[in-house]
Amino acid sequence: MFKVIDSAVPIACWACSVGHNDSTLFCPHCSKIQPPPGGDYFSVFGLEPKLELDLPALEREFHRLSRKLHPDRFARALENEKQWSLADTALLNDAYRTLKNPLSRTEYLLKLVGVEIGEEHAGKNRANNGKDPSRVPADLLEEVFELNMQLEEMRMARKMGEEDPALEESLTEAKRKFDGLLEAVDENLRAEWKTWDQGSEAVRQAAQKKMAALLDRRRYLSNLVRDVTEALGA
Amino acid sequence: MAEGRVVGIDLGTTNSLVAYMQGDAPVVIPGVDGSNLVPSVVALDPIPAGGGRPTVTVGNSARKALIETPERVIYSVKRLMGRGLEEVQKELKLFPFHLAGDVEAGEVPRIQLGELRFTPPEISAYVLRQLKRNAERFFGAPVTQAVITVPAYFNDAQRQATKDAGRMAGLEVLRLVNEPTAAALAYGLDRANVGTIAVFDLGGGTFDISILKLRDGIFEVQSTNGDTHLGGDDIDNLLLAIALDEIHAEHGVDLRKHPGAVQAVRKAAIDAKIKLSAERIAHFDIELPNGDRYQREIPREVFEQLIEPVLERTAGPCKQALADAGLTPEQIDEVVLVGGSTRIPAVRQLVDDLFHLAARGKRPRIELNPDEVVALGAAVQADILAGASKTTEEMLLLDVTPLSLGIEALGGTVARIIQRNSTIPASATEHFTTGVDGQTNVAIHVVQGERELASDCRSLARFDLKGIPPMSAGLPRIEVKFLIDADGILKVSAREQRSGQAAKIEVKPTYGLTDEQVESMILESFDHAEEDFAKRLLIEARTEAETILAAVERAPASPAWKQLTGEERATIAAARDRLSAVKLGEDLAAIRNATLALDQATRRFAELMMEAAVSTALRGKTMNTAGEDLGEEVTAPHPMAAAEFK
């Protein structure tokens, strides 16, 4: 899955024939653009897989590489250079988009190291999200049950055009609570990043497990918050 | 051949423009009539006496033909670009032109124009060719490469149709640029490039909002949103509906049955709208077929109340764009206004409210002409692509895809694979397998949009992955790569991973022309690209001269002629004789100047003729002129909108 680009890895520059390693976007010898390298998203920015990132530095590097790689710079170049500029820039953009967001970065890293997580894509199969009882975090079971009843009630009330201030109050309270839980999850995640980044292999394994569970919980919570927000018609 | 200039083109619903970078500032290239705006109107001249294919005219001259031969004129074709048969049918209810009789479902709809039929991209190609010629005339050299702007909220099919039109016109489209982004480029040229800006673009038919972050010459779009059916047309329609209702109620005349009369009232509505941007009050004063006059005052307050629901529709997209960018209104440093409709004071007030400008001591940016700013920005982007200029070498535009890309999953739901507002180019890789033993085909349905069900999204294309080696169900592993390029257009490639062979993909675009079709529609002018350029310019100039001379020849038969003073007629006669004398010579400049002089001498006559045509249309009812019922929903955009106003 994470060999995002499927082209063959060249061992020599197409333009000057000098050999180079396959993680380079430009030939170190003649500076010509190269086909997309086979490495992961971190390597696009010359980074080791790490969860704590210097975001301003990441953005600067994104801009620096965009200036060199973007198809606008190759509008009148050779056909193969145009193609590689397109593929390289898509890789750069995909990598930047994934890494700049803390959640997608965590998901990406977990997949990179082979940890199975709940869903391949946020937003995919949304209809089933939060509805699958087997995935309800155990400590929330009771509250989620109660909340779902209230959500249903709220939707009915809205449909009928009725106001129910008490129900609204109760849902707003629930949203506050789940927002708080989300924040707690995020804090836990940040702690695990640190652990993973600095830890030994064994420590990493444990952190990965925790992060996968935290991501599941987070996805579940954020779907709940979304549903409540929708029901409240904010 | 050395590489020529790259021009920037704003291919608009109502008007189109071409611009280029002159030194370090973009400028609009005027047409032969001296006007910067070329109305996006295409007319088919009558078939020549000797037979053969009729010639096509574009712009102001085509607009004039609208009065005489409305069945041979088409306008606002941008609304039809990249749309399917059903959508076009719905849209055409509002236009005086029709679908060709033999259009079949699944085909790109063709419009009947006189005795010929054209697809929307072909019509746009004629407009583009006119712009190309204007630029060639201006430079005295061929122009073959262009940047063309599109509404940011255009989908894949609409973008592809625009690109096809460019190719048909003999232009290599180096890039499609989103209109609001282009405007930001035009504004960003002469300023210290730091900050977050919003571009609010309300044109004739479309609304776009884009939020960009500027830093060190990089224009990074954070989010975009919009409505491809929201613009000045909607305001015109409101005024029009009120006028028609009142005329019906107070004078017992139902003008809706007469397209010509409706167009005339629409023109009055547009004039009133424009006037209300500068003044507190406007008037309708229209002579009716029964001799009555419909007179009405429209105070600005009434107008503003009336259009409030239309303007309110821009708020939702603005809020969504802010939310998607993760920004509050206070974090927007500047708001740039683009499009003719942003001249309306109520629109400026709304923008002020949405972005809390006055409260922060700020005002929207309006220094650049809102009709021209998109073309100017396209010229800047053209300069960036040409890559040879100091002014733009540090500039780079990073745009986004306005709509999420998804594939139809089991049960008709959408699995999103590229989220909206992703920086383009963007890609996603998906894996597919078979459901039946020995299955060798897999069908994939790609959609664009934000809705949960595929049927509520825009169908982009159906792909058939063919030639999968027969295996047990679930065993093949087909990797499909979706890539949205820098023009916002989808490209797909696929490979079966176990066998390593590339699966053959048959792409059936839901709305669009095949490569072969586009090839066959390339305008014949392209064939002559290699011909002696000067000779072509001379022939064109002579044709133009002939056209205007023929029109002047017919002029005395028009009632409007009698309204001219003796002096005016003498001026026209002198200009006519001058043009007749030089038109067969070899002096290109002399022919052009004489043509221009005659055009200017006849300007008042042309205006009088327009007015006469309008009142003729209004008398249409009593004269029982055959006209077709437009139906209740009269919302066709009007091609006679004033081309330019301050």
Catalytic: B179? yes
Q: Is the pLDDT of residue B1 over 60?
A: no
| Catalytic residue, candidates B10, B236, B371, B372 | B10
pLDDT of residue B108 exceeding 60, the answer is: yes
The pLDDT assigned to A11 comes to: 67
Q: Say whether pLDDT at A215 is over 80.
A: yes
Place of tokens 């779009």: B221
**Predicted structure pTM score:** 0.80
Pick B615 or A53 by higher pLDDT: A53
Q: Is B411 left (phi over 0), alpha (psi -120 to 50) or beta?
A: left
* Band (A123; pLDDT cuts 50, 70, 90): very low
ipTM more than 0.85?
Answer: no
pLDDT at B617: 53
- Out of A4, A66, A86, whose CB is closest to B396? A66
* Inter-chain CB proximity B486 and A124 less than 8 Å: no
CA B185 to chain centre: 19
Name the closest residue on chain A to residue B177, using Cα atoms: A72
Q: Which residue has the higher pLDDT, B356 or B643?
A: B356
Given B122, B156, B164, B179, the catalytic residue: B179
Q: Which residue of A has its CA nearest to B494?
A: A6
| Sequence letter at residue A21 | N
- Tell me, yes or no, if B562 is annotated catalytic: no
pLDDT at B539: 76
At B102 the pLDDT is 74
Residues of B in contact with A93 (CB under 8 A): 422-426
Long-range contacts of B108-113 (CB under 8 A, 24+ apart): B108/B511, B108/B512, B108/B513, B108/B517, B109/B80, B109/B83, B109/B84, B109/B85, B111/B74, B111/B77, B111/B80, B113/B42, B113/B44, B113/B71, B113/B72, B113/B73, B113/B74
From the list B623, B513, B386, the residue with the least C-alpha distance to B121 is B513
CA distances from B454 to B180, B404, B460 (A): 29, 12, 11
User: How much is the pLDDT for B189?
Assistant: 66
Asked if pLDDT for residue B531 goes beyond 80, the answer is no
Of B132-136, B280-284, B313-317, B495-499, give the lowest mean pLDDT range.
Answer: B495-499
Say whether B423 and A93 touch across the interface (CB within 8 A).
yes
Lowest mean pLDDT among A89-103, B21-35, B117-131, B485-499: B485-499
Average pLDDT, stretch A91-106?
A: 93
pLDDT, chain B, mean: 83
Q: Is the pLDDT of residue B611 over 80?
A: no
The alpha carbon dihedral of B562, B563, B567, B571 has a sign of: negative
* A40 has a pLDDT exceeding 70: yes
Residue B193's pLDDT band (cuts 50, 70, 90): low
Average pLDDT over residues B155-168: 92
Pick among B175, B181, B429 to test the A interface (most A CBs inside 10 A): B429
pLDDT band at B495 (very low <50, low <70, confident <90, very high): confident
Tell me the C-alpha distance between B339 and B633, whole Å. 25
B483 touches chain A (CB under 8 A): yes
Mean pLDDT over each residue of chain A, to the nearest integer: 81
Alpha-carbon distance B173 to nearest alpha carbon in chain A (angstroms): 10
Active site residue B33: no
How many CB pairs below 8 A link A and B? Answer: 84
Of A1, A67, A125, the CB nearest to B415: A125
The string of DSSP codes covering B359-392 is GGT---B--S-TTTHHHHHHHHHHHHHHT--TTT
Q: Are B269 and B245 in contact (CB under 8 A)?
A: no
What pLDDT does B94 receive?
Answer: 64
In chain A, the percentage of residues whose pLDDT exceeds 90 is: 20
B458 pLDDT band, cuts 50/70/90, is confident
Has residue A122 got a pLDDT over 50?
no
Q: Is B2 on the interface with A (CB under 8 A)?
A: no
Residue-range domains of chain A with CATH: 1-100 (1.10.287.110), 126-232 (no CATH)
What are B38-69's pLDDT values in tens digits?
A: 999 998 887 766 666 678 889 888 877 766 67
Please answer yes or no on whether B398 and A66 come within 8 Å at the CB atom: yes
Q: Does B451 touch chain A (CB under 8 A)?
A: no
Greater confidence, B253 or A1? B253
pLDDT band with cut points at 50, 70 and 90 for residue B626: very low
CA dihedral B130, B132, B135, B136 (to 10 degrees): -100
Pick from A2-6, B161-165, B584-588: least confident: A2-6
Q: What is the pLDDT of residue B608?
A: 81
Predicted pLDDT of residue B506? 62
For the stretch B121-131, pLDDT in tens is 999 999 999 99
pLDDT, mean of residues B539-566: 84
Q: Is A90 on the interface with B (CB under 8 A)?
A: yes
Name the E strands within B168-259: 172-178, 194-202, 207-215, 218-227
Backbone angles phi, psi at B281, to 5 degrees: -150, 145
Is A16's pLDDT higher than 90? no
Partner B contacted by A56 (CB < 8 A): no
| Least confident window among A102-106, B418-422, B546-550 | B546-550
**Residue B10 a catalytic site member:** yes
Over residues B414-427, the pLDDT tens digits come to 888 999 999 999 99
How crowded is residue B166: how many other Cβ atoms within 10 Å of its Cβ? 25
**Which pLDDT value is given to residue B533?**
63
Segment of B29-43, B178-192, B342-356, B429-443 carrying the highest mean pLDDT? B342-356
Residue B282 has pLDDT above 70, yes or no: yes
Say whether A90 and B427 touch across the interface (CB within 8 A).
yes
Q: pLDDT value at position B641?
A: 33
Enumerate the β-bridge partners of residue B21: B26
> Which of the four pLDDT bands, split at 50, 70 and 90, describes residue B333?
very high
CA distance B544 to B538: 10
| pLDDT-derived band at B529, boundaries 50, 70, 90 | very low
What's the pLDDT score for residue A87? 92
- Cα distance from B417 to chain A (closest Cα, Å)? 8
Report, as an integer, the average pLDDT of B317-344: 94
Residues 6+ apart with CB under 8 A from A106: A51, A189, A193, A211, A215
Lowest mean pLDDT, pick from A129-133, B264-268, B344-348: A129-133
Q: Does A134 have pLDDT greater than 90?
A: no
Q: Is B186 helix (H, G, I), strand (E, B) or coil?
A: helix
Q: Which domains does chain B have, with CATH numbers?
A: 6-184+375-394 (3.30.420.40), 405-509 (2.60.34.10), 533-601 (1.20.1270.10)
**Predicted pLDDT of residue A174:** 82
Among residues B418, B402, B413, B434, which one has the least CA distance to residue B481? B418
Q: Indicate the pLDDT class of residue B169, thresholds 50, 70 and 90.
A: very high
B145-154 pLDDT, tens digit per residue, is 999 999 998 9
Nearest by CB to B426, from A1, A76, A90: name it: A90
In the prediction, which pLDDT does B499 show? 72
**Closest approach of chain A CAs to the CA of B32, in angstroms?**
30
